[in-house]
Amino acid sequence: MKSFTAHWRSPSNIALVKYWGKHGVQLPANASVSFTLSECHTDTLLTAVPRSNGQMVKVWVDGREESSFLPKIDAFLKHVMPVLPELKDFSFEVRTHNTFPHSSGIASSASGMSALALCMYDIASQVTGKEMNLEKVSELARLGSGSASRSVYGPVSVWGDHDDYDGSSDRYAIPFKGHDKIFSTYLDTILIVDRGEKKVSSSVGHGLITHHPFANARYEVARKNMKVMKRVLAEGDLETFVKIVEDEALMLHALMMTSDPSFILMKPYTLKIIEMVREYRKTNRSFLCFTLDAGANVHLLYPEAEKASVGDFIENELKQYCADGYYICDQVGGGPFKID
Ligand code: PMV
């Protein structure tokens, strides 16, 4: 038996309608839709080496051996082996690099797990000669981190079964077809309000929704928002886009705050920025809006036509609320690719 390698770049994504709550093996409580990003990505080089004894995994992050990721990768491999049994006689060396710093407070699980799933499937394809299959890769990525399932496609990706999205599934994401061209060049500037590790992980947060008093209302709102978002994405209805995206972000955090135990991931400057964005939109003819993932940092979404004006607003007024003035300029991207 010989060794195999695979090298993939996979991006992060930002949800427009959020996934919050899961059951079974990482199956979502509701369908979600996201923009795939471009600049925030993970490059992973995977080497599969024939093993003699037990399966071994080693991980290097930016060239340094890192054992803190091993439990998550071990857990992922336990899910992968029944799906890709052709990999069971290998040990793995994972060399990975994120474009966004670890200390930026941006979750790397979507890009990291999708990059690893792509590498795993690629090596399985080399071993057996079967074709790469993005649906299957997305399913694998989901087992590592739910939102990672959506990073497999760009620029817009849907995960979770919903009557209005043909072919949608709880098991894997599908690409959204037919979005208005305005969304192909949409910008996402990520304001880093807090670089720290989250106090409550997404996994714990997902768990708390199961017995949440607002759970059923949330699933109903998410279902409706997915329905409306389909039309909004197809027609480029930016006014409704802004409304749904902001409502979703605030509902996600309202669910966190009203969980038992309650937790709050927003910081004072998160709220300050939200207020300033709303004020800016009122006084300028702008479609700038905010969204949040499970953290304090603020994603600003806006059309490319507003790049200069919003850029000035960020530099002159919002930057002061970012940790060390740090923000990341990203945009909607085309999805993962293989690195030669
Ligand atoms: O994929 P996870 O388990 O890290 O959960 C992601 C949850 C949110 O980012 C808050 C929402 C989403 O749909 O990405």
pLDDT of 150 reads 98
CATH 3.30.70.890 residue window(s) in the chain = 181-331
DSSP 75-110: HHHHHHHHH-GGGTTEEEEEEEEESS-GGGS---HH
CATH 3.30.230.10 residue window(s) in the chain = 4-178
Ligand 1 within 6 A of CB of 150: no
- Report, as an integer, the average pLDDT of 56-85: 92
Q: How close is the Cα of 148 to the center of ligand 1, in Å?
A: 8
Residue with CA nearest ligand 1 atom 4: 202
Q: How close is the Cα of 109 to the center of ligand 1, in Å?
A: 9
Question: Helices 109-128 and 134-144, interaxial angle, to 10°?
Answer: 130
pLDDT tens column, 199-229? 788 888 999 998 999 999 999 999 999 999 9
Which ligand 1 atom is nearest residue 14's CA?
A: 14
143 to 44, 173, 261: CA distances (angstroms): 18, 12, 26
User: Which has the closest alpha carbon to 177: 159, 157, 148, 163?
Assistant: 157
Q: How close is the Cα of 265 to the center of ligand 1, in Å?
A: 14
Q: For 4-178, which CATH class?
A: alpha beta
- Report, as an integer, the average pLDDT of 245-266: 97
Ligand 1 within 6 A of CB of 98: no
pLDDT tens column, 275-318? 999 999 999 999 999 999 999 999 999 999 999 999 999 999 99
Q: For 181-331, which CATH class?
A: alpha beta
Residue with CA nearest ligand 1 atom 6: 147
Q: How close is the Cα of 172 to the center of ligand 1, in Å?
A: 14
Ligand 1 within 6 A of CB of 146: yes
Q: How close is the Cα of 308 to the center of ligand 1, in Å?
A: 30
Ligand 1 within 6 A of CB of 19: yes
Which ligand 1 atom is nearest residue 146's CA?
A: 1
- Report, as an integer, the average pLDDT of 17-23: 96
Ligand 1 within 6 A of CB of 294: yes
Q: How close is the Cα of 121 to the center of ligand 1, in Å?
A: 23
